[in-house]
Amino acid sequence: MIIALIVLLAYLIGSIPSGLIVGKVGYGIDIRNHGSGNLGGTNTFRTLGIKAGLIVTIADILKGTLAASLPVLFHVDIQALPLFMGMVAAVGHMYPVFANFRGGKAVATSGGVLLFYHPFLFLSMLAVFFVVLYISKYVSLSSMLTAIYTVIFSLFTKDIPLIIVVVILTAFVIYRHRANIKRIINKTEPKVKWL
C-alpha cells in the first residue's frame, strides 16, 4: 500500500507543470501556444527569457530529486526504489495530469533523479551538456548526447538498477526529441544565441 502511495505521489510531483505555472502566473502566457509548444525549460527560455527559463529548469530538476527521495522520506528501504520513483516522475513530466497530458521532454526531471541517486554523475552530465552546447549550439542535441553519456557512465558502475533506469530515461529523452532530430537533419533546428 505504501509503495502504491509513493508511486502516485511521484507521478503527481512529476505532473506539476512548472512551465505552465510560471508562464501563466508570471507572464499571463500559456507557453504551449508559443515556440515549440513544449512545457520544458528550453521553450520557456525561448518564449519568456532567461529568468523564467532558469526557474522552470530548476523546478523540473527538483521534481525528479523530490520524487526519488520519497522512499527515503517514507522509510521504505528498497535500494532501487528511488530510481524507479524518479522514472515515474519523468513519466508525469512528459504526460502531466495537470496539463492535459501535454508535458516536457524529461531532460531536467531525469537529471534531478540522478542528482539524488548519483550526484557525481549529475555534475558530469552538466559538464557534458554545456560542452556539447558550446560546440553545437543545439540544446536538443546536447540533451540527447548527454543522455547517451549517462548510459555509458552507468555501464561502468555495474549498478544494474541504475543502468536499467538510465537506459529507459534515455529512451524517453530521445523519443521525445524525434521532431528535433528531423529539424537537426534538415538544418532548421533553432540554435542558442547567447553562447
Per-residue pLDDT tens over the stretch 100-132: 898 899 999 999 999 999 999 999 999 999 999
Counted domains in the chain: 1
pTM of the model: 0.93
| 28-37, 48-57, 104-113, 165-174, range with the lowest pLDDT | 28-37
Here the cell at position 91 is 513519466
96 has pLDDT over 90: yes
Question: Is residue 191 a part of any domain in this protein?
Answer: no
Pairwise CA distance, residues 179 & 181, whole Å: 5
56 has pLDDT over 80: yes
Averaged confidence pLDDT in the chain: 93
Question: Is residue 194 a part of any domain in this protein?
Answer: no
Q: Which range of residues forms the domain containing residue 107? A: 2-186
Question: Is residue 192 a part of any domain in this protein?
Answer: no
Give mean pLDDT, residues 17-21. 92
Pairwise CA distance, residues 15 & 186, whole Å: 32
Question: Is residue 193 a part of any domain in this protein?
Answer: no
Question: Is residue 195 a part of any domain in this protein?
Answer: no
Question: Is residue 142 a part of any domain in this protein?
Answer: yes
Pairwise CA distance, residues 75 & 95, whole Å: 28
